[in-house]
Chains A and B, each alone.
Chain A
């Protein structure tokens, strides 16, 4: 007996694949296109960033630390360029070639894990981060702290036996500079010799300030009671700006001045002349020290109080002051 085979509804015919759709015979090789575009753009971009833009990156190359920082920015900028271009190219390509039709309301294809891509991503980003950590450490060591404040006991010091000592003293709202190797004179002018290592001993007489010699690439906090050491070696003559980079009160924005890098001979002449000119003032300064104890002022106030001098202007915080700190 012949049996009748069960019938099933006929399968609907497969819709024709649009040209260029994923999986279609006419599918272009998107990955190859993207790779080629990314490689070409990255090569051009990296060369432009390193060779054309790089020499103009801040803070310039006026000192060893500034040049080092500029080199770091060039390297980091060059490394970042392929990443930046990769994102832009992929986004632009997707917007151009994978744009949905206006009446296309279908879901996208489900995405499954891809161990190969994930491992590649993890390995690549780990390598980049570790390489940058190593690079940053090397860059700190090779120029003795890269111009940053290293605290009172710096780890990285210049090898030279001849280092110019310059004490930077912050006070609301001015900078003064003391040169202990020239009799300890103190002046509002900052002059430095060309091609000689400089040790900045940065401190404050009142609140926290920040010594930022921009073009020199030197930046160190000025804390009361602390000697914060930073090194650099000026490499080009010229002027540079010094700013306070810690908000320090009413006139913080006006707490800036200008320094100069001059030839070694010109510096010697200036320093010796200034030492002579300021001899009478230097005599009334406290002995040179790496920090100055603010309580010395209170002791001075006590002297005045012992003399019986009081009132609003009669010393620092006399006992009858209505607004004791």
Chain B
């Protein structure tokens, strides 16, 4: 092989390796779920954020992974993401439609509501400060944001009949569910706050914390506080 041919081959091989690395970085390392920006929709020092939990995820290639969805504040469509943005120093009114069935918390201490205004959540309108997932079928996931000390167990449908007839297509619009509401204040300074479900609910993975638990966009995400 002539010298020019060898140099050309080497350059092509090098470019191919670089392109592969860039592709992997762009698609697997740097990619993140879409961000639902609620900041423009805040008024009077408050903003309303709406989510839902699903027992499956039929909109991706991981149909058996449990997942959160967030409602787009403009068109009210459900988006498969766990990333959202809210303004700083604002009261966030969360509404979570819990369509999944019950799972026990590994550590029942996470059944306690913390970090919310009044230290309570409202399950179908009824205030409660803790749920005992070890005594019955009543918790499906949690909304846990360690950076702000927030932990809210998401109540589940409680009856056998409900749990055996959960919504089967994502995003859920019908089927047994509980509506959980709570409020909390965002800090005065901006920042990014990680949140997760701490049930753990990645059934079939190491200690239940793999799969959807370890993949942003399913059972963990980020709240961006915009100052």
A324 within 8 A of B: yes
For chain B, residues 138 to 156, give those with C-beta under 8 angstroms from any C-beta of chain A. 140-141, 144, 146-147, 149, 156
Q: Do residues B109 and A285 form an inter-chain contact, with CB atoms below 8 A? A: yes
B127 within 8 A of A: no
A284 and B214 contact, Cβ closer than 8 Å, known pairs A172-B200, A188-B149, A304-B104: no
A182 within 8 A of B: no
Majority secondary structure, A binding face:
loop
B112 within 8 A of A: yes
A309 and B100 contact, Cβ closer than 8 Å, known pairs A174-B198, A323-B64: no
Contact of A312 among B100, B104, B164 (CB under 8 A): B100
A270 within 8 A of B: no
A160 within 8 A of B: no
* Chain A residue with the shortest CB-CB distance to B210: A249
Q: Do residues A307 and B160 form an inter-chain contact, with CB atoms below 8 A? A: yes
What separation, in Å, do the CA atoms of A207 and B156 have in the docked complex?
27
**Residue of B104, B194, B198, B211 contacting most chain A CB atoms (<10 Å):** B104
What separation, in Å, do the CA atoms of A292 and B207 have in the docked complex?
14
What separation, in Å, do the CA atoms of A322 and B198 have in the docked complex?
21
* Chain A residue with the shortest CB-CB distance to B112: A281
A176 and B107 contact, Cβ closer than 8 Å, known pairs A309-B160, A322-B204, A325-B204: yes
Of B13-21, B129-137, B183-191, the one contacting chain A is B129-137
* Chain A residue with the shortest CB-CB distance to B109: A186
Q: How many residues of A contact B (CB 8 A)?
A: 46
Contacts of A280 in B (CB 8 A): 129-130
> Nearest Cβ distance between residue B224 and chain A, in whole angstroms?
15
A206 within 8 A of B: yes
What separation, in Å, do the CA atoms of A278 and B151 have in the docked complex?
14
A173 within 8 A of B: yes
> Nearest Cβ distance between residue B207 and chain A, in whole angstroms?
4
Q: Do residues B140 and A313 form an inter-chain contact, with CB atoms below 8 A? A: yes
B172 within 8 A of A: no
Q: Do residues B104 and A315 form an inter-chain contact, with CB atoms below 8 A? A: yes
What separation, in Å, do the CA atoms of A285 and B110 have in the docked complex?
10
Contacts of B214 in A (CB 8 A): 249-250
Q: How many residues of B contact A (CB 8 A)?
A: 52
Q: Do residues A316 and B109 form an inter-chain contact, with CB atoms below 8 A? A: no
Contact of A322 among B64, B109, B160 (CB under 8 A): B64
* Chain A residue with the shortest CB-CB distance to B104: A300
A321 within 8 A of B: yes
Q: Do residues B203 and A316 form an inter-chain contact, with CB atoms below 8 A? A: yes
> Nearest Cβ distance between residue B62 and chain A, in whole angstroms?
10
For chain A, residues 147 to 192, give those with C-beta under 8 angstroms from any C-beta of chain B. 169, 171-174, 176, 186-188
A205 within 8 A of B: yes
A257 within 8 A of B: yes
Q: Do residues B198 and A311 form an inter-chain contact, with CB atoms below 8 A? A: no
Contact of A304 among B108, B137, B220 (CB under 8 A): B137
Contacts of A323 in B (CB 8 A): 64, 203-205, 211
Contact of B200 among A206, A318, A322 (CB under 8 A): A206
Contacts of B112 in A (CB 8 A): 278, 281
* Chain A residue with the shortest CB-CB distance to B103: A313
What separation, in Å, do the CA atoms of A285 and B109 have in the docked complex?
6
A131 within 8 A of B: no
* Chain B residue with the shortest CB-CB distance to A307: B160
> Nearest Cβ distance between residue B208 and chain A, in whole angstroms?
6
For chain A, residues 261 to 287, give those with C-beta under 8 angstroms from any C-beta of chain B. 278, 280-281, 284-286
B35 within 8 A of A: no
* Chain A residue with the shortest CB-CB distance to B202: A323
Q: Do residues B205 and A311 form an inter-chain contact, with CB atoms below 8 A? A: no
B209 within 8 A of A: yes
Q: Do residues B100 and A313 form an inter-chain contact, with CB atoms below 8 A? A: yes
Q: Do residues B207 and A172 form an inter-chain contact, with CB atoms below 8 A? A: yes
Contacts of A314 in B (CB 8 A): 101-103, 163-164
B206 within 8 A of A: yes
Contacts of B203 in A (CB 8 A): 312, 316-318, 321, 323
Q: Which residues of A contact B (CB under 8 A)?
A: 169, 171-174, 176, 186-188, 205-207, 249-251, 254, 257, 278, 280-281, 284-286, 292, 294, 297, 300-301, 304, 307-318, 321-325
Q: A311-B55, A315-B102 are in contact. List 16 more A-B contacts (CB 8 A).
A: A172-B207, A187-B109, A206-B207, A249-B214, A280-B129, A281-B111, A284-B108, A294-B106, A297-B106, A301-B104, A304-B103, A304-B104, A308-B160, A309-B102, A313-B201, A317-B203
9 A-B pairs closest in CB distance: A323-B204, A313-B101, A313-B100, A206-B207, A250-B214, A284-B132, A300-B104, A172-B209, A314-B101
